[in-house]
């Protein structure tokens, strides 16, 4: 199993420094708003201050700073709660995440239905700061909390036939209003090759910024694969199934010419409607170059050796 080099702590912007930067920006903003004649004050004061420490950084590049809690929790795609990126934060309010059952089944020796608490109990919960790159060419840096998917795979003991893992979101149009419209083929299904699922970077997240996931971010359990485009990160997971064939994943099935099963971040392979060479980091103005495998090439590229990444996009 590949080891994960950690960034020396000297490379990480201390929380105090980036909080100071935000305060500076807020002050500048007040001045700017005054100049523009705009009276309303921003919501900065209301944003909860993150607990320290935020977690262990993985694969962060110089200059990478955690995206604000507010942006992380108010701007994301979660079509189960609406198709705009500001819908989920509104529409998912009050979504019940307890009790929650996770079913592990398929080609494995130890299938089972677990209450979420029992499902998580055997693992050590970790805080990890990852880069996140959306297929729409924007990106964030997110302090996640969760357990390695590898733990779950090891406990389930997949048989030798199992080649892929399929993860499925809750199907409940009563509680997930977006599912009342057939924008996508519900429920949302994502999948990984077994080796990808067992990779130590692959996380089943239960929290963000050291606290439980808010419902809009995929509570109570979601997938995080930092070297793949964000849509691979299936949310509100109720089922983890070991299968022999490549799962029919939602976006790849919806628009096969634009979204693939692998969805590895790759600046060389453009989306048909936009370039993937650069990205805009939420909270920053300037475009930055997109890195192969989103900056995690040293840890994951070997899994794809010999594959044509243009065809397996």
Closer of 168 and 250 to another protein (Cβ) = 250
**Ranges of H-type helices in 37-131:** 69-74, 87-91, 116-120
Q: What is the nearest approach in angstroms of another protein to the Cβ of residue 183?
A: 5
Q: Terminal CA-to-CA distance of the chain, rounded, Å?
A: 24
Restricted to residues 26-85, the positions that interact with another protein (CB under 8 A) are 26, 28-29, 31-33, 36, 38, 40, 42-44, 70-71, 74-75, 79, 83, 85
Closer of 78 and 242 to another protein (Cβ) = 78
- Joined together, the tokens standing for residue 113 give 């239905």
Which CA distances in Å does 218 have to 13, 93, 224, 237, 280?
A: 27, 12, 11, 8, 23
Options 109, 125, 254, 307; binder of another protein; rule CB under 8 A = 254
Size of the residue set binding another protein (CB under 8 A): 44
Q: What is the nearest approach in angstroms of another protein to the Cβ of residue 230?
A: 13
Give the integer Cα–Cα distance in Å for 126 and 183: 35
Query: Could you say whether residue 289 binds another protein (CB under 8 A)?
Result: yes
Which CA distances in Å does 114 have to 95, 105, 118, 120, 247?
A: 20, 11, 6, 9, 23
Look at the block and give the residue holding tokens 């399929």: 166
Q: What is the nearest approach in angstroms of another protein to the Cβ of residue 20?
A: 12
Which CA distances in Å does 10 have to 5, 18, 57, 63, 215?
A: 14, 14, 12, 12, 34
Q: How many CB atoms are located within 10 Å of the residue 74 CB?
A: 18
Options 109, 161, 287, 302; binder of another protein; rule CB under 8 A = 287
Question: x/- contact string, 96-135, with another protein (CB under 8 A)?
Answer: ----------------------------------------
User: Count of residues for the chain?
Assistant: 313
Query: Could you say whether residue 86 binds another protein (CB under 8 A)?
Result: yes
Query: Could you say whether residue 253 binds another protein (CB under 8 A)?
Result: no
3-state secondary structure at position 74: helix
Contacts with another protein by CB under 8 A lie at 22, 24-26, 28-29, 31-33, 36, 38, 40, 42-44, 70-71, 74-75, 79, 83, 85-86, 136, 138, 183-184, 254-255, 270, 272-275, 277-278, 280, 282-283, 285-289
């Amino acid at each position: 199993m590949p080891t994960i080099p950690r960034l020396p702590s000297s490379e990480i912007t201390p929380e105090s420094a980036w909080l100071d930067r935000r305060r500076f920006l807020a002050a500048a903003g007040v001045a700017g708003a005054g100049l523009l004649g705009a009276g309303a004050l921003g919501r900065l004061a209301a944003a909860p201050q993150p607990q320290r420490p935020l977690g262990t950084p993985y694969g962060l590049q110089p200059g990478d700073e955690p995206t604000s809690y507010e942006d992380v929790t108010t701007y994301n795609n979660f079509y189960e709660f609406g198709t705009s990126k500001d819908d989920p934060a509104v529409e998912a309010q009050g979504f019940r995440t307890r009790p929650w059952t996770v079913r592990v089944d398929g080609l494995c020796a130890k299938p089972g239905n677990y209450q979420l608490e029992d499902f998580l109990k055997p693992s050590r919960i970790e805080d990890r700061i990852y880069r996140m790159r959306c297929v729409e060419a924007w990106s964030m840096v997110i302090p996640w909390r969760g357990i390695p998917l590898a733990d779950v795979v090891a406990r389930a003991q997949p048989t030798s036939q199992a080649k892929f893992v399929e993860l499925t979101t809750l199907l409940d149009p009563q509680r997930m209003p977006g599912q009342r419209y057939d924008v996508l083929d519900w429920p949302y299904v994502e999948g990984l090759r077994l080796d990808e699922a067992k990779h130590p970077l692959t996380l089943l997240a239960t929290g963000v910024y050291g606290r439980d996931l808010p419902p809009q971010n995929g509570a109570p359990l979601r997938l995080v694969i930092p070297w793949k485009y964000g849509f691979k990160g299936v949310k509100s997971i109720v089922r983890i199934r070991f299968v022999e064939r490549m799962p029919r994943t939602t976006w790849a099935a919806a628009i096969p010419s634009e979204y693939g099963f692998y969805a590895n971040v790759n600046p060389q392979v453009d989306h048909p409607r936009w370039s993937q060479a650069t990205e805009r980091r939420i909270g920053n103005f300037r475009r930055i170059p997109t890195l192969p495998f989103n900056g995690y090439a040293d840890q994951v590229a070997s899994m794809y050796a010999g594959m044509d990444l243009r065809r397996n996009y």
